[in-house]
Amino acid sequence: MRILFVVYDNGSYIHQFPMGLAYIASALLKDGYDITIYNQDMHHYPEEHLTQYLNENKFDVVCISIIAGYYQYKKLLMVSKAINKSKNRPTYLLGGHGPSPEPEFFLQKTKADIVVIGEGEETIKELMDALANNKSLEGLKGIAYRQGDRVVVNQRRPLIKDVDSILHPSWHLFPIDYYRLIRIGPHSQKTDFLMPVLSGRGCTFECNFCYRMDTGFRPRSNEAIIEEIEILKKDYRINYIDFLDELLMTSVSRTVSLCESFLKAKLNVKWKCNGRLNYAKKEVLQLMKKSGCTFVNYGIESMDDTVLKNMKKGLTTEQIIKGVEATLEVGISPGLNIIFGNIGENKEILMKGVEFLLRYDDGAQLRTIRPVTPYPGSPLYYYAIEKGLLKNCEDFYENKHINADLVAVNFTDMSDDEFHQSLLEANTILLKNYYNNKLKNSLEETNNLYLKKDVTFRGFRQT
């Protein structure tokens, strides 16, 4: 069987490596399938090009993995139209965070044939075997599929217990020279090459705005993680690792063990991760920095204890402040992410978040505040439906979630206009702070250049 993986274009100059597809590709390559990658992302091909490509090249199956954003949903509809227009249309598969919680809706909107629900490495192998041998899809765990005008949703598949048994992503199929140029790591040098790695799957917390395809947390062994990084260093000259886990810092002991293993292995790489302020202790952070960590992305969400409790964040404002101060003290940049509009929030609480971001700004990132979005599958999504604020998945994607910076569902006592006016005021303050600091730094560099003859200056035009 010939299988085409479509990596869609999200409009970025450099895209993030499509790790999910690369994992699925490895599972299929092991079983001898012929896989081709269609890089719309790198080449910025229009959708018409995909239709022409499918007309000129015969494939048995075409696959897309999609997340749940408004832009991604609209892009998926355009890509689906291109696939469905092709003369020799292959069997069309969807996967990823987007379609997994509401596969019926996505099958109906895209006219795709099958959705792989949740973790796909084992499901895809059984599915391809069924398609190759004309077997029935009835009872095949982990999929939903169209059967005429009807959608059948099968039983979910149990999670893979031994995540170390999952094969490495099939890097060799993808243009790594392109992906490694991404600059999402704060304090990246122009000579750094970055690639993502997973240190585990899942998360130990249950925030109400988060949709998780799998419950609990399954860590990879330190040895398996180090082996993968060593391969990336050797084969692709990677020196900056972006841990894409939902949460690497799942406990103090786990974080310490991983850092000690990095040091023992003399990895000598920079790395960044998603962290929890519950575990952001000074001694832990010092070890993280020593082992190469330059940035920890923290989900703060709100600077109000009642709201944090409402969203089941498992965090207090006291823990937030102590953890962020400790992170800055050891010399690691903290990612400070705040959202607005969860249950119980108001403008006063929003401005507490603004004050916090200003107080702990280290200049590493432009920080703004976005509305909370009840993505399908999240507890907040079902709460919105229960309260009559949202009808269903179609209402979410077609009517409500039209832009990630505009309110989709309003859980506050404010009107939508008041909500947006408050965000306008908050983000105006944050934007002025960021760009005023940039101007201040640029003027200081200019003074040093001309008055102190700073020979390290490399020009005003930055790329």
CATH number (3.40.50.280, 2.20.25.90, 3.30.43.10, 3.30.70.60) of 2-153 reads: 3.40.50.280
Q: To the nearest whole number, what is the mean pLDDT of the chain?
A: 96
- How distant, in Å, are the alpha carbons of 6, 85, 155, 194, 222 from that of 197? 21, 36, 29, 10, 12
Domain positions in the chain are 2-153, 184-451
Q: pLDDT band at residue 216, thresholds of 50, 70 and 90?
A: confident
| For range 73-82, the mean pLDDT | 98
Measured on CA atoms in the order 126, 143, 160, 271, is the torsion positive or negative? positive
Give percent above pLDDT 70 in the chain.
Answer: 100
Q: Is the pLDDT of residue 463 over 70?
A: no
Q: Using alpha carbons, list the distances in angstroms from residue 384 to 106, 209, 390, 408.
A: 20, 11, 5, 11
Helices (H), 311-378: 317-330, 347-359
Q: What percent of the chain has pLDDT over 90?
A: 94
Average pLDDT over residues 434-452: 95
- Euclidean distance between CA atoms 397 and 376, whole angstroms: 9
Q: Does domain 184-451 have CATH number 3.20.20.70?
A: yes
Q: What pLDDT digit, counting tens, does each position of 303-343 carry?
A: 999 999 999 999 999 999 999 999 999 999 999 999 999 99
On the 0-12 / 13-18 / 19+ scale of CB atoms within 10 A, 234 is exposed
220 burial level (CB within 10 Å; 0-12, 13-18, 19+): buried
Mean pLDDT of the region 37-62: 98
Which residue is it, tokens 């702070």? Answer: 433
Name the amino acid, one letter, at 229. Answer: I
Whole-prediction pTM: 0.95
Beta bridge partners of 427: none
| Tokens read off for 178 | 């392109």
Sign of CA dihedral 417, 420, 426, 430: negative
* Position 174 confidence tier, pLDDT thresholds 50, 70, 90: very high
pLDDT band for position 462 (50/70/90)?
Answer: low
Q: Which amino acid, 408?
A: A
Determine whether 137 is exposed, middle or buried from the number of CB atoms within 10 Å of its CB (0-12, 13-18, 19+). middle
